Amino acid sequence: MPKKVKSKKIETEDEPDDEPEDESELEPEEEQIEDTDDLSINDEDEEEIEESDEEDCLIEKTINEDNQLFDNVYNSEEQPVNKEVIVAKENRITINRLTKYEMVRILGERTKQLTMGAKPLVKNYNNLSYEKIAEEELKLNMIPYKIKRPLPNGKFEIWTLDELYKDHILSQLE
């Protein structure tokens, strides 16, 4: 099949809009290819494009850099040790009174233990609820908990329940 050529008419000042006398005055505007066998695809060009895409991939570069960073961080031998500094009994600066927050926290933890099946530390607990058992244990100083109070300088004070004054709080329980 012959190739089709679109032509464009060239106008000059001498000639009006008449039909051209020669076909030589026609210029090809665009060439159309109907036969696809004339086109050749080079496999090497495709491989080069794929390789350049892989080299320029920002995501893969970032992932590789992150992996190297994490390998360096987790394989390093220098790991910070979190040492908690506990203040000695003689150097304590907080008062020896049990706060409401600490009391509620202790009663809640002890009640939770009792509901999970822990044995009560008081006698004659048959008719008492778990909350009342925990309150009785607190009144009698039978709960073996320690309270850890954080200080503003990053140190901690540890108090046992026996050391804390509780009368002001226990009056509220009754």
Residue 145 has pLDDT above 60, yes or no: yes
Q: Which residues pair with 150 in a beta bridge?
A: 156
Q: Is residue 138 part of a domain?
A: yes
Higher pLDDT, 106 or 5: 106
Strand, helix or coil for residue 148: strand
Q: Which domain holds residue 149?
A: 89-173
Q: Is residue 131 part of a domain?
A: yes
Pairing relationship of beta strands 146-150 and 156-160 according to DSSP bridges:
antiparallel
pTM passes above 0.85: no
Low-confidence winner among 36-50, 74-88, 90-104, 121-135 (lowest mean pLDDT): 36-50
CA distance 160 to 142: 11
Q: Which of 28, 9, 7, 6 is nearest to 19 (CA)?
A: 9
Burial class of residue 16 in the structure, from the number of CB atoms within 10 Å of its CB (0-12 exposed, 13-18 middle, 19+ buried): exposed
Q: Is residue 26 part of a domain?
A: no
The CATH number covering residue 143 comes to 3.90.940.10
For residue 38, what pLDDT is reported? 53
Q: Is residue 101 part of a domain?
A: yes
Average pLDDT over the chain reads 76
Q: Is residue 136 part of a domain?
A: yes
Q: Token pair for residue 64?
A: 């590789």
The answer to whether the CB of 32 falls within 8 A of the CB of 3 is yes
Q: Is residue 148 part of a domain?
A: yes
**74-88 pLDDT tens trace:** 555 555 556 778 899
For residue 171, what pLDDT is reported? 82
Q: Is residue 133 part of a domain?
A: yes
Q: Is residue 139 part of a domain?
A: yes
How many structural domains compose the chain?
1
Determine the average pLDDT of the residues in 161-166. 91
